[in-house]
Each structure stands twice: as structure tokens, then as C-alpha cells.
């Protein structure tokens, strides 16, 4: 949860914070609710699918890394955004497994 709040804060300097801050805050809230065991597994499964589809759709046609400056090519920013969504998807899979364990 704290990692996603940090991700959201870092996005405040991004050219499109109105997209990425809510995305990362949503992941943080879902992680917090998993910690409190307040949601059902299907919510995390749905979030996993949505984040996963977003990561797939944002993946650049040609991967050029993530370490170069964003001014070099838009593909670098796309790769970073895609990997961020992939991290969100993996966290949702973990939350799903936690709910599975607690409700079994």
C-alpha cells in the first residue's frame, strides 16, 4: 500500500497526473482493504484483469528500456507506465491469494 502511495506522489510531476495518481491510489486502497479483509476475491480478480489489460495495451511496439530520459522517445514513457500497471496487477493477484487463504 505504501509503495503505491509513493508511486502516486511521484506521479504529481508527470505530464498526466490526472490519470496516474488515481490509478496508483486505487491500487493502494485495494491493498489496504485486502489488509483489512473487507472485499471479496472477485474485486481483486477484476482489478488484476483491468490492470493487466492496461499494461498490455500500453506496452510500446518497440521496447527501448526504461532508464533513458523521457525526451529520448515516447516508448520509454509507455514502457514505464506499462510496468507500473503490471506491478499493480501483480499486487492484485497477491491480494486475491490473501483473500483466498483467509476465506478458505
Residues 39, 99 contacting (CB under 8 angstroms): yes
Q: What are phi and psi of 55, to 5 degrees?
A: -65, -40
What is the pTM (predicted TM-score) of this model?
A: 0.87
Q: Over the stretch 28-44, which tens digit does the pLDDT of each residue have?
A: 999 999 988 888 889 99
Residues 6+ apart with CB under 8 A from 60: 74, 75, 76, 78, 79, 82
66 pLDDT above the threshold of 80 = no
Least-confidence region, from 32-36, 54-58, 59-63: 59-63
Nearest Cα neighbor of 12 from 4, 3, 22, 21 is 21
Domain ranges of the chain: 2-103
Place 104 in a pLDDT band, splitting at 50, 70 and 90: low
Q: What are phi and psi of 77, to 5 degrees?
A: -65, -40
Amino acid at each position: 500500500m505504501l509503495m503505491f502511495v509513493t508511486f502516486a506522489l511521484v506521479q504529481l510531476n508527470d505530464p498526466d497526473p490526472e490519470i496516474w495518481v488515481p490509478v496508483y491510489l486505487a491500487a493502494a486502497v485495494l491493498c489496504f482493504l485486502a489488509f483489512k479483509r473487507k472485499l471479496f476475491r472477485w474485486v481483486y480478480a477484476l482489478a488484476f484483469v483491468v490492470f493487466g489489460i492496461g499494461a498490455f495495451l500500453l506496452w510500446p511496439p518497440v521496447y527501448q528500456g526504461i532508464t533513458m530520459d523521457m525526451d529520448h522517445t515516447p516508448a520509454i514513457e509507455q514502457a514505464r507506465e506499462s510496468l507500473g500497471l503490471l506491478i499493480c496487477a501483480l499486487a492484485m493477484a497477491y491480494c486475491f491469494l490473501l483473500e483466498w487463504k483467509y476465506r478458505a
